[in-house]
Amino acid sequence: MTKGIDPAATPSGSGCVECDAAGGWWVHLRRCAQCGHVGCCDSSPAQHATAHASASGHPVVQSFEPGEDWFWDYEQGKGFTGPTLAGPTHRPLDQPVPGPAGRVPRDWVGQLH
């Protein structure tokens, strides 16, 4: 197994785990390549994907956005092309960006990182 990647780990869900628990919102989603945790990107208010990597020691994420299959290695600080992970490999197509529906504030642009 490539360090930080378990192709058999399935995604935790269709939205950021911590944002869904707290009623938050996100811009884009990233999926932990090791355990399947889905978190929000660094442009999002809470940056849960990076927080998960720091807290868990899981160093690799893959984009969870439709049409994107890039990986990012936090330890190396660079992107790369990796194996195909267990599906689904992206959020539902009808889920808006930013999302999720009904939780994005009117002034969301001003809250981006």
Positions touching Zn ion (CB under 5 A) are: 16, 18-19, 32, 34-35, 37, 40, 46, 48, 56, 58
User: Is the bond leading into 98 cis (omega within 30 degrees of zero)?
Assistant: yes
Residue number, 35 or 109, with CB nearest to Zn ion: 35
Residue 55, CA distances (Å) to 23, 58, 91, 104, 107 in order: 21, 8, 23, 26, 30
- Shortest Cβ distance from residue 80 to Zn ion (Å)? 17
Residue number, 67 or 74, with CB nearest to Zn ion: 74
CA dihedral 61, 86, 3, 74 (to 10 degrees): 0
- Shortest Cβ distance from residue 9 to Zn ion (Å)? 8
- Shortest Cβ distance from residue 94 to Zn ion (Å)? 20
- Shortest Cβ distance from residue 16 to Zn ion (Å)? 3
Residues 6+ apart with CB under 8 A from 54: 74
Residue number, 30 or 81, with CB nearest to Zn ion: 30
Q: Give which of 87, 88, 107 is closest to 25, Cα–Cα.
A: 107
Residue number, 22 or 79, with CB nearest to Zn ion: 22
